[in-house]
Amino acid sequence: MDITRRTFLHGAGAGLALSGIGAHRAWAETSLSFGGMQVQSLSDGHLVLPPDFIFGPMPQAELAPLLAERGIDPGDPLTPECNVTLLRDGERVVLFDTGAGNAFQPSAGELLDALDAAGVAPGDVTHVVFTHGHPDHLWGVLDDFDDPLFSEAEHMMGRAEWDYWYNPETVNTIDSGRTAFAVGARRRLEMLEDAITFFDDGEEILPGVAARATFGHSPGHMAFELRSGTEAVMVVGDSIGNHHVAFARPGWNSGSDQDQEMAAATRSKLLDQLAHEQTRLIGFHLPQGGIGRAERDGDGYRFVPEGA
């Protein structure tokens, strides 16, 4: 495929191939191909978060030197990238999550431009697969007229995640700071009700795509293993939510998780597997397009972007 100014794609080749562009985020900054699959990381922009949203429940005395080592000022806002994964496999064009749309944060909601740069129109998308129902992953599913944006696509969500967000009682039981999450999710899921397919942990939801329960960040959060032969990539969503503390101290509770203890246990187990098997991962909020691998680093891990 031709290289242009705004989209950087890597042609198919034997084994896993990957291209990256350095420090500046482009719409399709990183892509890889294996078997018949081509996977791209597309930018939906970034979020702006108060530090306590993640760091609040952590042991502050231990946190401070860890952040200092990584050049992170604990008083500065956090600005994590939002990376939407696009899979092209034969006639299938699959989106994992749909970004934030225009109703969440002004710094996010850029997926349509990213898709355009990658040569994909909304009507080309055959499947939309959700990791979970938080705004930056779900709210971009509707267009400006509140109709499904990907009108030709089959929409797919884990059964437990759907049940949680569709339940009208969730708005009354969720943490008060996330009430808008529940209201927004319910409204969007109502629009998808007649076009949704449910799946459970361990199911092969599409050829070469298996669902993996990674509960905790949200009640039914799912990751997805994309596999062709002996090669695989794990789309981890927000089960590994940042490139610093989540890797260095995966067992610490994070304020971004709805069930903090469950999420920490999930994160620790997943990182152990990824590091042991050296399986590539794509993280929704990881830097440089989110494609890389986890490596052991003392008692924890570190994120190594592909090509580093």
Residue pLDDT, tens place only, 228-250 = 999 999 999 999 999 999 999 99
- Identify whether 4 is part of a domain: no
When divided into structural domains, the chain yields a total of: 1
Residue at 83 is within a domain: yes
Give the per-residue pLDDT at 169: 98
Coil/strand/helix, residue 169:
coil
Note whether residue 9 is domain-resident: no
**Two tokens, residue 40:** 């791209």
Amino acid at the residue 92: R
Does any domain span residue 6? no
Q: Which pLDDT does position 31 carry in this prediction?
A: 85
Closest CA to 178 of 130, 245, 223, 132: 132
The encoded tokens of residue 71 equal 């050049």
Here the CATH number for the domain that contains residue 58 is 3.60.15.10
Distances (CA, A) of 111 to 47, 69, 150, 209: 13, 33, 12, 22
The SS3 call for residue 288 is helix
What is the value of pTM for the model shown?
A: 0.91
Residue at 206 is within a domain: yes
Q: Sheet holding 81-89: strands in order across?
A: 17-19, 30-34, 37-46, 81-89, 92-96, 127-129, 154-158, 196-199
Q: Residue 175 in contact with residue 190, Cβ under 8 Å? A: no
Residue 2 lies in a domain: no
Q: What is the pLDDT of residues 6-25, one digit of tens each?
A: 333 333 333 344 433 333 35
- Give domain status of residue 5, yes or no: no
pLDDT at 3 over 70: no
Q: Which domain holds residue 40?
A: 17-305
Measured distance CA(42)–CA(47) in Å, rounded? 15
> Has residue 8 been placed in a domain?
no
